[in-house]
Amino acid sequence: MIAVDLEAERKEILRRYRRLLRKAKPFLKDNDAKLIKKAFNLSVEAHKEMRRKSGEPYIFHPLAVAEICVEEIGLGTTSIIAALLHDVVEDTEVELDEIKSSFGPKVAKIIDGLTKISGVFEHGSSQQAENFRKMLLTLSEDVRVILVKLADRLHNMRTLGSMPRHKQLKIISETIYLYSPLAHRLGLYAIKSELEDLWLKYTEPEVYVDLVAKIAESKSSRNRFIKSFMNPIVDELDRTGFSYEVKGRPKSIYSIWNKMKKQNIPFEEVYDLFAVRIILDTPYDQEKAACWQVYSIVTDFYTPNPDRLRDWVSTPKANGYESLHTTVMSRAGRWVEVQIRTQRMNDIAEKGYAAHWKYKDGMNPAHESGLESWIQKVRDMLEQNDTNAIEFVDDFRSNLFSEEVFVFTPKGDLKILPSGATALDFAFDIHTEIGAKCLGAKVNNRLVPLNYQLKNGDQIEILTSNKQRPNEDWLRFVATSKAKSKIKDTLKETKKQAAIDGKEIVQRKLKQMKVPFDGDVANQLRAYFEEKTVTDFYYKVGRGLIDPSQIKNFKDFKKERQKSLRVKSKDFEYSDDFKKIEDPGKDILLIGEDMDVLDYRYAKCCNPIPGDDVFGFITVNEGIKIHRTTCPNAPELLSRHGNRIVKAKWMSQQQNAFLAVLRIIGTDRVGLMRDVTDIISNELKVNMQSISIDTETGIFDGQIRLYVNSTKHLDQLISKLEKVTGVMRVTRHDSREVN
Ligand code: MN
């Protein structure tokens, strides 16, 4: 046991509590401080026997969450109290009623909401989705539940180091899958970026450390560049009498990493590592004019790229973001993004929703409608409560990610839809009836089909027909969850009717064949036709997608199957469910809590090889599949199907071969191809599965699929290939197809 100095700990707790109070001070009114003290005392008492995984007193966590609420989100007393008590009802003896009588119904309601959505990781996938849905339900009542939850998540991510690896994986996946998009949608830019950076830190630790070092290294040269870039602008701003501040902040580590991956380039070649930000101190009613005046000054010195002008000052984003962005050509021959905004806009960009409230008085009402209308949309979505929870989370998530497209009705009313929305989405947005009867549309007076993708500034007139009816295809044409759920509702009705018809047909057919009809037979038919549910089977018969005459074949099949089943069940007595791999020369991958040697397959989406960080996923039909933790599908699998994840770990390197994909880029020359293949097949004795090369522009761009033994082997191969004359870069490539 480690000796704990309780007296020192008590002092530290008090020190942290006073720091919280100091930060909250500007927000406090009347007897707020007294209430916070009361909440703190209750929390200290309730958690006094508990410690975090790191060994620290538990109270450090609620204190830190409260501090994030104040300092990083800009929340006030109610949220501070809720944050201090957020784990009390869940983890200790304290009852919700006690909180209600001590702190009032508002605090109690928030804590109730937070309690309902905790314990997310202990349950299976649908439970988790259901929890998430519950959390959003509380959004319509009090958005502070989500804000405190985000603060809670942020602190848990910051202190993730002391968690076991498999818990880390689940937590980070859920964070990247749901919480960071949610933070983004609420305009909490700083929190969103930190969550993403932490995700990278625990997903690819080495890459992360490397990037942090490189960003630090390039800091002084970056500052020099910004200084000389801003020089003429600063002079002019001073001359005009602006009060301002200039910042040159590097982009988040995660976004730099994303760029490197997407464009397949090293750190040194990411040119927009940072943006220059000019923050103006301007009264509210002069903001717009001031921003454009500064834009005019900037573009007097540097030529702007006309395609990169973003005006979120006139039309803010739906998450409340306001800023004027332009990208200009610097004298060093590089594009530089310049963001022009006021102090108020900057606060909103960093702190999101809460900062919005702070500035609400005297604000243009049109500007605050974005977020309000988003919350209204979430409310609408929640009312469609017959979709299952997982589907709901998916729908919700796709809405979180979307950026907007601005379009107009024939009368000139502005409608904001997620980008990717179609004419059909627009129709459903106007009215369900109009959507259901939509035949096509006229966009800017030109006839377009239902699936036409809307562009900014389009003016849309919907054409309807009373004979029109939604069909399955429509689901592929829409991007909004509102349209999707309305179409599904209609389809469900039609499907129900088709299934009733289908059942009658099946019963008639069986009667002819003299097979008695019951639930067992229905289920065997379902299995024979490989349908998911009996209703699906009936539906297909009803719609004529399954020919009833095929049911006759089922009868013959049934006889055959009974014979073979008898043989099989005998075999089963001799072998286990899972075949053990015993050949000592072969690869050993240990799977599950007990680290067993089980049968598995490699997922085709990420082609893991020994040495990779991996996990197992229990599939419905194909046993355990092994994915890399960096697989593009990993966040979804880990966060949505937590209960189907099993741990997996390599025991030792082995002689077997694994498929890896390499991308080779270089300048083409005669014989380059031969040199590359020589190294692969002769020198290193590697088997190639396929090679494809594009040399059209004098650039050699090849993709080679080959078999290697391990990551070490692969690294060896890469460094050899990089030495070939003409080859500029060799990288391992993930194939993105979903497996
Ligand atoms: Mn917590």
In this structure, what token pair is assigned to residue 10? 């008590």
Which tokens go with 551? 């049911």
371 within domain boundaries = no
- CB-hemisphere CA count at 13 Å for 280? 25
Q: CA dist 434 to 102, 439, 453, 481, Å? A: 51, 9, 18, 16
C-alpha 423/C-alpha 595 separation (Å) is: 53
**Residues 627 and 717 occupy one common structural domain:** no
The verdict on residue 41 lying in a domain is: yes
Q: Check: CB of residue 370 under 8 Å from CB of residue 181.
A: no
Flag whether 79 is in a domain.
Answer: yes
What is the structure's pLDDT at 35? 93
CA of 83 relative to ligand 1 center, distance in Å: 8
Clarify whether residues 635 and 518 are in a common domain: no
Same domain, 522 and 598: no
> How far from 661 is each of 200, 229, 606, CA to CA, in Å?
22, 42, 9
Please provide the distance, in angstroms rounded to a whole number, between the alpha carbons at the two ends of the chain.
48
For the chain, helix (H) and strand (E) counts, in that order, are: 30, 20
Same domain, 640 and 672: no
Give the sign of the dihedral formed by CA 628, CA 632, CA 636, CA 641: negative
- Residue 698 DSSP SS3: coil
Token reading at 243:
């009060």
- Rounded to whole angstroms, the Cα distance separating 488 from 474 reads 9
Tokens describing residue 502:
């289908």
Q: What is the DSSP letter of 204?
A: S
Element (H, E) at 513: helix 481-513
The answer to whether residues 21 and 103 belong to one domain is yes
Domain count for the chain, please give it. 4
pLDDT of residue 181: 83
Q: How far is the CA of 638 from the centre of ligand 1 (A)?
A: 21
Helix, strand or coil, per DSSP, at residue 64: helix
CA of 91 to the centre of ligand 1 (A): 10
Measured between alpha carbons, how far is 20 from 519 in angstroms, rounded to an integer?
A: 64
Q: Which domain holds residue 510?
A: 489-564
Domain end call among 499, 533, 564? 564
Closest to 113 measured CA to CA, from 75, 163, 147: 147
In this structure, are 640 and 728 located in the same domain? no
Q: Which residues contact 684 (CB under 8 A, 6 or more apart)?
A: 713, 716, 717, 720
Residue 326 lies in a domain: no
| Residue 569 CA, ligand 1 centroid: distance in Å | 50
Output the CA angle 270-403-286, nearest 5 degrees. 90
116 Cα–ligand 1 center, Å: 12
Last residue of some domain: 564, 586, 618?
564
Token pair belonging to 176: 């990247």
Q: Which CATH number fits the domain that encloses residue 705?
A: 3.30.70.260
Q: Give the pairing of strands 588-591 and 446-448.
A: unpaired
The b/e string for 144-158 (b: 16+ C-beta within 10 A; e otherwise) is bbbbbbbbbbbbbbe
**Model pLDDT for residues 361-390, shown as the tens digit of each residue:** 555 554 555 566 666 666 666 666 555 666
Q: How high is the pLDDT of residue 128?
A: 62
**DSSP 3-state of 379:** helix
* Same-domain check for residues 50 and 102: yes
Residue 450 falls within a domain, yes or no?
Answer: no
**Structural domain contains residue 334:** no
**Cβ–Cβ under 8 Å, residues 409 and 384:** no
Catalytic residue numbers, as ranges: 90-91
pTM of the model: 0.64
| 137 vs 145: CA distance, rounded Å | 10
Q: How far is the CA of 5 from the centre of ligand 1 (A)?
A: 25
**What pLDDT, on the 0 to 100 scale, is given for residue 384?**
62
What protein residues have CB closer than 5 angstroms to ion ligand 1? 87, 152
* Joined tokens for residue 98: 């006690």
Q: The CATH number of the domain where 121 resides is what?
A: 1.10.3210.10
Between CA 446 and CA 451 the distance in angstroms is: 14
The pLDDT value recorded for residue 568 is 37
Question: C-alpha angle with apex 246: 240 to 252, nearest 5 degrees?
Answer: 150
Assess whether 615 and 706 both reside in one domain.
no
In whole angstroms, what is the distance from residue 602 CA to residue 658 CA?
9
Q: Which amino acid is at 693?
A: I
- Specify whether the CB–CB gap between 660 and 609 falls below 8 A: yes
Instruction: Give 395 Cα–ligand 1 centroid separation in angstroms.
Output: 27
In the reported structure, the alpha carbon of residue 179 is separated from the centroid of ligand 1 by a whole-number distance in angstroms of: 14
Q: State the greatest distance between any 2 C-alpha atoms of the chain, in Å, as a whole number.
A: 97
Residue whose C-alpha is closest to residue 430's, from 470, 394, 463, 397: 463
Ramachandran area for residue 466 (φ above 0: left; ψ -120 to 50: alpha; else beta): alpha
Residue 361 lies in a domain: no
Percent of the chain clearing pLDDT 70 (strictly above): 81
Q: What beta strand segments (E) does 419-519 contain?
A: 438-443, 446-448, 460-464
CA 496 to chain centre: 34
| CA nearest to 424, candidates 367, 490, 492, 374 | 490
Q: How far is the CA of 531 from the centre of ligand 1 (A)?
A: 43
Estimate the crossing angle of helix 519-528 against helix 551-572, to 10 degrees.
Answer: 90
Kindly provide the residue ranges of all beta strands, DSSP E only, lying in 321-418, ordered along the sequence.
324-329, 335-342, 404-408, 414-418
Residue 282 and residue 265: Cα distance in Å, rounded? 40
Q: Within a domain: residue 132?
A: yes
| Amino acid identity, position 322 | E
Choose one of 603, 623, 650: the last residue of a domain.
650
Beta bridge partners of 408: 414, 459
Tokens, residue 627: 């994915």
* 505 touches 548 (CB < 8 A): yes
* Centre of ligand 1 from the C-alpha of residue 56, in Å: 14
Q: Which segments in the chain show pLDDT lower than 50?
A: 120-124, 366, 563-586, 653-655, 735-739
Are 666 and 590 members of one domain? no
Task: Give yes or no: residues 121 and 25 share one domain.
Answer: yes
Q: Which of 696, 602, 595 is nearest to 648 (CA)?
A: 595
Q: How far is CA 685 from CA 258, 678, 680, in A?
A: 34, 9, 6
The reply to whether 630 and 514 lie within a common domain is no
φ/ψ of 689, rounded to 5, equals: -90, -45
> Of how many residues is the chain composed?
739
CA distance 506 to 193: 57
Q: Are residues 140 and 23 in the same domain?
A: yes
- Distance separating alpha carbons of residues 80 and 107, to the nearest angstrom: 10
